[in-house]
Amino acid sequence: MITGKTKIIGIFGDPIEHTLSPLIHNEAFRCLELDYCYVPFHVKRENLKIAVEAIKALNIKGVNITVPHKETVISYLDELSEEAKVIGAVNTVLNEEGKLKGFNTDVKGFLLSLKEEGISVRNKNVLVIGAGGASKAVVYGLLKEGGKVYIYNRTKSKALAIKEQMNKYGFIEVLNKIEENLSDKVQIIINATSLGLKKEDPLPFDPEILDSKHVYYDIVYPETKMIKEASKRGCKAIGGLGMLIWQAAYAFEIWTQIKAPLEAMKKFLNTY
Ligand SMILES: NC(=O)c1ccc[n+]([C@@H]2O[C@H](COP(=O)([O-])OP(=O)(O)OC[C@H]3O[C@@H](n4cnc5c(N)ncnc54)[C@H](OP(=O)(O)O)[C@@H]3O)[C@@H](O)[C@H]2O)c1
């Protein structure tokens, strides 16, 4: 029940109708009987500044930030976490007594989902396809954990920009194309493009390079065509729901200072 004491959490994005975050977080609040309510806000680009000011004005406890605001929101915040600074994108904001602090929970979400699957990236060669915002979080996480990154993107300049920014954290090399001989060189292959989101999307690369020695990780959810191709070839195939849940759990903890009810959140999402 919403009362005068209920704390409000929101999500700002455009579009916003597709988001699963209200379901996940409201289930977590319900499960722990916390007096919070998570609300979607359709915020257009031209209204972002005023929407962020409204977090303070309306005493909203925190928000998630999604497409297309993750980068632009930074200029309206008071403070950034280390990860948000490095990646240059914020997906979670905490209102700490009128001071807005930005976080990027995708890095930790990605790493915790790997850990949950029992996968260590230390000294492994990892092929990352894509060089958008999510790719930056994945690459930073991999380098921090001692992985070696080979990155390919349709627009090479964006992969080069990530290399330029991230090579102080570890080994990163930009590829001109995805060649067959990569198959023996890499142990983990990650789709960090948005391909797979729509039914009609092409595969992000030729699945023939995959075989049973590879781990295939697709940050897109729900299950993509490429996950099916990878499973068919005997790979350990991991979809994007794990990362989604773990990044949400970390955001939940930032807002509430309470451990997220992870199993309940997962169970709810799986049955939805
Ligand atoms: N599981 C999770 O928790 C989680 C977290 C964050 C994001 N995601 C998902 O990750 C995906 C990417 O998000 P993002 O924020 O990184 O998006 P983004 O910044 O828009 O980047 C999109 C990436 O996809 C590539 N791409 C798009 N269409 C392509 C095509 N037709 N052929 C080849 N490459 C193409 C882009 O290449 P160009 O640079 O050449 O355009 C770019 O590398 C989204 O589906 C998002 O939902 C999942």
Residue nearest to atom 21 of ligand 1 (CA): 132
State residue 189's pLDDT score: 98
At 113, is the pLDDT very low, low, confident or very high (cuts 50, 70, 90)? very high
State residue 12's pLDDT score: 98
Taken as a whole, the chain contains a residue count of 272
- Ligand 1 atom at minimal distance to the Cα of residue 155: 40
Answer yes or no: is the C-beta of 251 below 6 A from any ligand 1 atom: no
State residue 58's pLDDT score: 98
15 cis-preceded (ω within 30 degrees of 0): yes
Answer yes or no: is the C-beta of 155 below 6 A from any ligand 1 atom: yes
224 and 259 together in one domain: no
Looking up residue 48, the CATH number of its domain turns out to be 3.40.50.10860
State residue 96's pLDDT score: 98
Q: Give domain status of residue 170, yes or no.
A: yes
- Ligand 1 atom at minimal distance to the Cα of residue 245: 3
DSSP symbol at 121:
-
With contact defined as beta carbons under 8 Å apart, do 125 and 105 qualify?
A: no
More confident residue, 270 or 2: 2
135 and 197 together in one domain: yes
Token code pair at residue 230: 């990878």
Q: What SS3 class is residue 234?
A: coil
126 and 150 together in one domain: yes
pLDDT higher than 90, residue 110:
yes
State residue 180's pLDDT score: 80
Convert the pLDDT of each residue in 202-250 to its tens digit: 999 999 999 999 999 999 988 999 999 999 999 999 999 999 999 999 9
98 and 122 together in one domain: no
Residue nearest to atom 33 of ligand 1 (CA): 154
State residue 161's pLDDT score: 97
Answer yes or no: is the C-beta of 243 below 6 A from any ligand 1 atom: yes
Catalytic residues: 70
What is the residue range of 145's domain?
Answer: 107-239
Mode of pairing for the β-strands spanning 99-103 and 92-96: antiparallel
Separation of alpha carbons 39 and 12, rounded Å: 9
Answer yes or no: is the C-beta of 154 below 6 A from any ligand 1 atom: yes
235 and 249 together in one domain: no
With contact defined as beta carbons under 8 Å apart, do 170 and 146 qualify?
A: yes
- Ligand 1 atom at minimal distance to the Cα of residue 110: 3
pLDDT-above-70 percentage for the chain = 100
154 and 201 together in one domain: yes
Looking up residue 171, the CATH number of its domain turns out to be 3.40.50.720
Residue nearest to atom 3 of ligand 1 (CA): 244
Number of structural domains (the chain) is: 2
Across the chain, what does the average pLDDT equal? 96
State residue 182's pLDDT score: 85
pLDDT higher than 90, residue 179:
no
Q: What one-character-per-residue DSSP string does 195-226 give?
A: TTSSTTPPPSS-GGG--TT-EEEE-SSS--HH
120 and 206 together in one domain: yes
Answer yes or no: is the C-beta of 141 below 6 A from any ligand 1 atom: no
Name, in order, each residue with C-beta under 8 angstroms of 92's C-beta and a sequence gap of 6 or more: 62, 63, 64, 65, 102, 103, 104, 105, 250, 251, 254, 255
pTM exceeding the 0.85 threshold for the entire prediction: yes
Question: What average pLDDT score do residues 137-151 get?
Answer: 98
pLDDT higher than 80, residue 79:
yes
State residue 206's pLDDT score: 95
Q: How many whole angstroms from 98 Cα to the centroid of ligand 1?
A: 33
State residue 222's pLDDT score: 87
State residue 181's pLDDT score: 84
Answer yes or no: is the C-beta of 153 below 6 A from any ligand 1 atom: yes
156 and 55 together in one domain: no
235 and 132 together in one domain: yes
At 25, is the pLDDT very low, low, confident or very high (cuts 50, 70, 90)? very high
pLDDT higher than 80, residue 125:
yes
Q: Give domain status of residue 2, yes or no.
A: no
